Amino acid sequence: MARDLTQWQILTELEPVAGQALDRHLSMARDWHPHDYIPWDDGRNFAMLGGTDWEPGQSRLPEVAKAALVTNLLTEDNLPSYHREISANFSPDGAWGTWVGRWTAEEARHSIVLRDYLVVTRGVDPVALENARMAHMTTGFHTPVEQGDAGSSGFLFSIAYVSFQELATRISHRNTASACDDPIADRMLQRVALDENLHMIFYRTMCGAALDLVPDQAMEAIDLIVRNFRMPGAGMPNFRRNGVLMAKHGIYDLRQHLEEVLQPVIRHWNILDRNDFGPRGEQARERLADYLSDLETVQVPRFEEHRDRALARARA
């Protein structure tokens, strides 16, 4: 029976794979500049500099687009917390350290471009946006499970979580682009979504390699992450209200979470057909399979039934 490895041992064993994944990422990533995506001619001074402060009528965005853009921006704003989580669980040296730095730098572009767009176009109240940023960043972010739950390493929890979360964020940005009804926002958000997809590929590759190296430990981490998954913005102001609005209007809902995030990644790792698990891994796989079945047959239909009734009442 394979023994459990410590976090340091896992990182050491997987560093060559991390180096290959980093090289592939750098060969595929394309540099871009946030200022190129902003309609600066639309900007004007606020009252402090002799202009006019924000009023609701200045926004051209639909309500669902406002909710989605604010949610996505505040999520991106919390990058310092994500950096702390990732850097605490990865090595500062070699390919791991280079990846953490590169990933952080690429992610920082997202909050820059989203905020510039919203402020310049007066899409949302900039004072409320700043107050929400202060509250959300002060609260910070923590991986949504206790890392001692499975006796596994923080590294495994981190890469399992971001394998799903980066894909979920990509889908949210992509669907927000359609909801904005603005070609400038569409171009900007499609650019951000491309970054998120490349980040997902790196983390999905590393989590797949961990499954091959320590199948039981990795399977336990994946199972716990999936069953306890929540988006990184869960603690932000108005998250529930905005999340419900986004789900009702197809930005990110439970079926998308199941069919466009969980199922594709789990299929990519071939989790349900692997034969290299020990008893612990088998138990975790069974729990995961039961949870996915419950999502598909009970939770998703129930959510859609409630959503359709709510939309019908709104139309009436």
Residue with tokens 């994944």: 21
199 annotated as belonging to a binding site for a ligand: yes
The alpha carbons of the chain give a radius of gyration, in whole angstroms, of: 21
Residue 167, judged by CB atoms within 10 A of its CB (0-12, 13-18, 19+), counts as buried
Whole-Å CA distances, 260 to 34, 117, 158, 178, 316: 28, 28, 20, 17, 31
DSSP 198-245: HHHHHHHHHHHHHHHHSHHHHHHHHHHHHHT---TTTTSTTHHHHHHH
35 annotated as belonging to a binding site for a ligand: no
305 annotated as belonging to a binding site for a ligand: no
13 annotated as belonging to a binding site for a ligand: no
DSSP 105-172: HHHHHHHHHHHHHHHHTT-S-HHHHHHHHHHHHHH----SS-TTTTT--HHHHHHHHHHHHHHHHHHH
257 annotated as belonging to a binding site for a ligand: no
Element (H, E) at 84: helix 79-89
110 annotated as belonging to a binding site for a ligand: yes
Known binding residues are 76, 107, 110, 166, 196, 199
Known binding residues for Fe cation are 76, 107, 110, 166, 196, 199
